[in-house]
A and B are shown apart, each in its own frame.
Chain A
Amino acid sequence: MHTTAPKAELKAPPPANAAPLLALSGVSKSFPGVRALHNVSLSLYPGQVTALIGENGAGKSTLVKILTGIYQPDSGEISVGGEPVHLTSAHKAFEHGITAIHQETVLFDDLSVAENIFLGHAPRTRFGTIDWKTMRANAREVLDTMHAGHIDADARLRDLGIANKHLVAVARAMSIDARIVIMDEPTAALSAKEIEELFLLIEFLKSEGKAILFISHKFDEIFRIADRYTVFRDGEMVGEGLLADATQSAIVKMMVGRAVDHIFPEREPNIGAPVLAVSDLSHPTEFDGISFELHKGEILGFYGLVGAGRSELMQAIFGITRTSRGAISLDGKALHPKSAADAIEAGIVYVPEERGRQGVVTGMPIFKNASLPSLQRTSKSGVLRLKEEFDLARRYTGRLDLRASSLSQDVGTLSGGNQQKVVIAKWLATRPKVIILDEPTKGIDIGSKAAVHGFMAELVAEGLSVIMVSSELPEILGMSDRVVVMREGHIAAIYDNKNLDAETLVQTAAGIAA
């Protein structure tokens, strides 16, 4: 299954000189501090599936948002069927026949299947009211042509599984006569059988002459269903062509073979005895049989695809997520954290990936965020001592070079990078033994990134142990002493970071034999 799947013989070779149905050229898009897309081009051909491949942060979602009219490009041209278009709104994109099916479909759970299909363009009676009879009949017709007749047009969408919801989303695309269908990781939440059904559907869409953009991290799927590929890296298009002419390793090379854009701190690892030992830790659904050791003074990287269970595992070690079996021990003592408070008391802290929801308490000033887990120490018999809190906040945020106008500034008004510094400062103040950082530099500017990396190096030099969950290969390779690769809730491999290359990590994470 995970080797190069044989290309289906019956697949008609793409017409040699077919004109693209959708063509992007020279499209760029920047956000404050981030260049999301730079001068990219992309062509989608009728009756063909084009796979869009790239790491997290390569610019895939930005491109999807541009194609669906949610973002406006800073420059560049988009044409549909040879005509230049301006996709100034989601509605405009819809009118040009572009539709997207997301990982979590954006449909209406409490409406019927027929209503979902025809929302916004329902057939009307001559009195202007919705013609329910015709709508139901049309819905059934659309579903039948897609070989999805098993879906009841009157069923409430809530009662359908995710795979059938995808079918309804496609039926909606058919009903508006969409010509371009974007599928953004459509298989992420599907079972193996449901994926097969989705592939049949994609074959059907191809036979109808639709141009399909297929975004997936899974190489076996890409090689099975797609005709062409386009590879993005760091917001640039770095390669495209026919999949028939490509190999997995060549594509992986395009994905990761980047110029070094960021210098990681030099450090002399001084690795000591094991500090944290996790054995056979399991969760009913998210991860299973996880065992590893973390040593004193070590940075242990956790790499894997989104959904591999890394965050859930870390939150279990931090006492937030329940486990079904397995054991955790810290400094040789068994630990059963039932809450974050237990884990913090033992000396394990967690910098979450969802900074805004789990990391900072927006609406509260910096110093109150920094002191929140240390209130017992800064207060005396439960009575607050503001001076102690300001001192604590200044000491630890100062080490991270926080940029703020005052320590009483609302943490919600800081940039993402500075918010992250406050979260890290908050944890350092508790004097932890193990600090877990979940995507520590996601969505933060390059300067803050360097500050966070430099600081991690300082921490391990002082004898702390660090677990760093990251989906960014340069970060994993640049910072880790060892790398744990997780795939679908299991540990796929643990590597020493010596002569380790990005290709190996990507292939292990995606389950491709090297």
Chain B
Amino acid sequence: MSDAVHSPRTIPDRLDNPLRSAVLSWEALLVIVAVAIFVINSFASPYFLNAWSLSDLTFNFTEKALIALAMALLIITGEIDLSVAAIIALASTLMGMAVQAGIDTPGLVAIGILVGLGCGAFNGAMVTGLGLPSIVVTIGTMSLFRGISYIILGDQAYKGYPADFAFFGQGYVWWVVSFELVLFLVAALIYGFLLHRTSFGRRIFAIGNNPVATQFSGVRVGRIKFILFCLTGLMAGIASVLITSRLGSTRPSIAQGYELEVITMVVLGGVSILGGAGSIPGVVLAAFIMGLVTFGLGLLNVPGIVMSIFIGLLLIVVIALPIVWNRFRMQR
């Protein structure tokens, strides 16, 4: 990158070899893990290595992974949003109401996305406007948003979504390549660019490393955090459209527990739960790994409850690993 001539006093741009740091990165480790699980799966089940199986596999993670992209940015700044699954439920419920009122597909999509955006803006206003901790605010809105769904629906379900609405969650763009997968990959490119190639992304990292010094450097910290809460809500709204479309119905228990899987994906992807570090390629790899694991366990007929135990353990391990590792390094 730098081929400037160095006079003795000139400080070089960088010393470490970029290739070397790429090989030693967390992302490289994730690639190895993903390949290993892929190989294990293909030996464990004769049904795994099949184009349609692999396509089905992606449905295990695309909806959550879409949210994880925005959540990664939020967690890098040191905030969190635990209400994303509840936003899905509320957006889906309101879409279901709209169906009863005779609104067609474009209207439904708009409602889903706007409800998500509105919920995100509400979270963001609470955190940045009133200065409340995001973990408390979003635990509150987690109950609030889903509670509204329960009040509206009770033990009922909304059905009767228009036929063309099914495309978002069930349609294929080409052969076995689903619309959801394409949407996720495009979104990953956009978020990757936003985080790693723009000044907005640079400010996100700065906030996570030292919010006070970043504010003292003229960065409007509150505004950036507010935007990220809105983006996370927006992605939850999009995910709500996809899930509702895939299931073809809305119950208030829709997407229950998704927030944990989203956060697990983000942390497994190498985003520091303390903020300040992480990457979108890591989150994308983590999404594939989670999909491979849950799908593999499904092929082996492992019951759902065991899978949730597995997700819980995985979350603890990936949060603990870097902390324990750092402590170990400090002691040496």
Contact = CB atoms under 8 A, between A and B. Distances in A.
Interface stretch (A286-294, A302-310, A372-380): A372-380
B195 to A, nearest CB: 11
A223 interface: no
Nearest to A386: B1
A379 B216 CA distance: 20
B14 A407 contact: yes
Contacts of A150: none
B215 interface: yes
Interface stretch (A179-187, A266-274, A353-361): A353-361
27 contacts: A320-B215, A339-B215, A339-B218, A339-B220, A340-B218, A357-B212, A361-B217, A362-B209, A364-B205, A364-B209, A372-B206, A372-B214, A372-B218, A376-B199, A379-B198, A379-B199, A383-B199, A384-B201, A384-B202, A386-B1, A390-B2, A390-B13, A397-B11, A406-B14, A407-B13, A426-B217, A430-B218
B208 to A, nearest CB: 8
A368 B206 contact: yes
B28 interface: no
Contacts of B15: 405-406, 408-409
A232 interface: no
Contacts of B64: none
Given A405-B12, A405-B15, A406-B14, 8 more contacts: A339-B218, A360-B210, A375-B202, A375-B203, A383-B198, A384-B198, A390-B2, A408-B14
A397 B200 CA distance: 24
A430 to B, nearest CB: 8
A417 interface: no
Contacts of A358: 212-213, 216
| Interface footprint category on A | 35 or more
Q: Most chain-A Cβ atoms within 10 A of its Cβ — which of B2, B210, B214, B276? A: B210
A406 B12 contact: yes
B329 interface: no
A341 B203 CA distance: 13
Interface in A388-414: 390, 394, 397-398, 402, 404-409
Interface in A272-319: 318
A485 B206 CA distance: 36
B331 interface: no
Interface string B176-204: 00000000000000000000011111110
B307 interface: no
Contact of A361 (B1, B10, B14, B214): B214
Contact of A350 (B199, B209, B216): B216
Nearest to B2: A390
Nearest to B215: A340
Given A373-B217, A379-B199, A386-B1, A363 B210 contact: yes
B219 interface: yes
A350 B216 CA distance: 8
B9 interface: yes
Contacts of B201: 384
Contacts of B277: 363
B11 A406 contact: yes
A363 B15 CA distance: 17
| 9 nearest CB pairs, A to B | A408-B14, A375-B199, A363-B209, A344-B218, A341-B218, A361-B210, A379-B199, A406-B15, A372-B217
Nearest to A390: B13
A367 interface: yes
Contacts of B198: 379, 382-384
A46 interface: no
A352 interface: yes
